[in-house]
A = this chain, B = another copy of it.
Amino acid sequence: MTSDDQLQQVRERINAIDADLLRLISERAACAQAVAKIKDAHGESVKYYRPEREAEILRRIKAENPGPLDGEEVARLFREIMSACLALEKPLKVGYLGPQGTFTQAAALKHFGHSVHAQPFGAISDIFREVEAGACDYGVVPVENSTEGVVNHTLDMFMRSPLLIAGEVTLRIHHHLLSNAKDLGAVRRVYSHQQSLAQCRGWLDRYLPNAERVAVGTNADAAKRAAAAEDAAAVASEAAAELYALRVLAQRIEDEPGNTTRFLVIGSEDSPPSGHDKTSMLLSCRNEAGGLHRLLTPFAKQGLSMTRIESRPSRQGVWDYVFFVDVCGHRQSPEVEAALVELKGAANLCKVLGSYPEAVL
């Protein structure tokens, strides 16, 4: 067979696959409409977006993926298919911390797909307000940034908002070496946030052993300083390279590929159990010896693993500190339920911020 004949054969197979895909995607969308109709007919309060069911589907797709596409890529395609089907029932309105082009926008689209109506807002408090007022169905706000630490404003908002956490999104962040210099040989100083410098230590030791490392407030600030010099570089994002017209001397120089930043999806309800969930809560106790230890005992007793703890000064004047705690497990699970009962006794404040599926993608 000539290569043309072979190619022709494969292309005909692709065309046949496309026809099947079109039929199946259309049938799936019709099923989504059928679900809405059944719910309507029975007068149920119709909740179209089901985070726990979407998480289950994405996890199954990743587990059963035969390749050659990688699991994340296939899950991303299903995320878009589900997003399109959901928009047919009711297009979700999602507010995010703008402007456009930020990581938070990317997180909102990664979580909800591109068929939602995503709207940028200028402040985290605006997003809470819009969701509280029902003008947005959900909001997406940053909560952890591995380079710039916790986004405190988001945590503070939870102290006074009735909103719950309905999901989490993680994004992988890459670090690049940016400079005006033509090559590594000309770089005498490297600016970055100290956490970014730490995350790229292995690479810097190997390729820039003699350059001075200077820790600055943010990676954007580092890029700005590098832009003003001929013999300096910054460890920062691709966006910073573009903003400050810096050359990318080396890409993805982080030692560990798992450098991520985390966002929360906020809404008026949290999510039913999906099988792999987290529960976030706000705890407080008086600032006395052993106070925090006592606070955490119920988790240990129930064998619950804590994925994060963060302390914040309380603004309420009554307690000295509040703690944001994430544990693995849904609040409806017996272990978390038992721990919460015990906590109500031990803590001055115990506010469950929500249970939600662990980030799948």
Q: Which residues of A contact B (CB under 8 A)?
A: 3, 6-7, 10-11, 13-15, 17-35, 38-39, 41-42, 44, 53, 57, 60-61, 64-69, 73-74, 76-78, 80-81, 84-85, 87-88, 98-102, 105, 114-115, 119-122, 238-239, 242-243, 245
In the complex, chain B residues whose CB is within 8 Å of the CB of A105 = 101
Candidates B24, B41, B68, B99; contact of A21 at CB < 8 Å: B24
CB atoms of A7 and B35 under 8 A apart: yes
CA distance A14 to B24 in the complex (A): 10
The 3 closest A-B pairs by CB, nearest first: A101-B101, A100-B101, A3-B42
A10-B34, A26-B66 are contacts. A18–B73 as well, Cβ < 8 Å? no
Residue of B nearest to A121 (CB): B242
Residue of B nearest to A120 (CB): B242
26 residue pairs bridging A and B, Cβ less than 8 Å apart: A3-B39, A6-B38, A7-B35, A7-B38, A10-B35, A15-B57, A15-B60, A18-B28, A18-B78, A21-B28, A21-B81, A22-B74, A23-B66, A26-B69, A26-B74, A33-B68, A73-B87, A73-B115, A77-B81, A98-B239, A99-B101, A100-B239, A100-B242, A119-B242, A120-B238, A122-B245
CA distance A26 to B34 in the complex (A): 28
In the complex, chain B residues whose CB is within 8 Å of the CB of A33 = 68
In the complex, chain B residues whose CB is within 8 Å of the CB of A114 = 76
Q: Shortest distance in angstroms between A250's beta carbon and chain B's nearest beta carbon? A: 15
Q: Shortest distance in angstroms between A340's beta carbon and chain B's nearest beta carbon? A: 29
Q: Shortest distance in angstroms between A191's beta carbon and chain B's nearest beta carbon? A: 20
Residue of B nearest to A245 (CB): B122
**Extra pairs beyond A14-B28, A22-B66, A100-B102 (6, CB < 8 Å):** A3-B39, A10-B38, A17-B24, A21-B24, A120-B238, A122-B245
CB atoms of A21 and B78 under 8 A apart: yes
Q: Shortest distance in angstroms between A122's beta carbon and chain B's nearest beta carbon? A: 6
In the complex, chain B residues whose CB is within 8 Å of the CB of A239 = 98-100, 120
In the complex, chain B residues whose CB is within 8 Å of the CB of A76 = 80, 84, 114
CA distance A42 to B44 in the complex (A): 61
Candidates B14, B15, B22, B74; contact of A65 at CB < 8 Å: B22
> Taking each of A69, A98, A122, A243, which has the highest tally of chain B beta carbons within 10 Å of its own beta carbon?
A69
In the complex, chain B residues whose CB is within 8 Å of the CB of A26 = 65-69, 74
In the complex, chain B residues whose CB is within 8 Å of the CB of A10 = 31, 34-35, 38
> Taking each of A17, A20, A39, which has the highest tally of chain B beta carbons within 10 Å of its own beta carbon?
A17
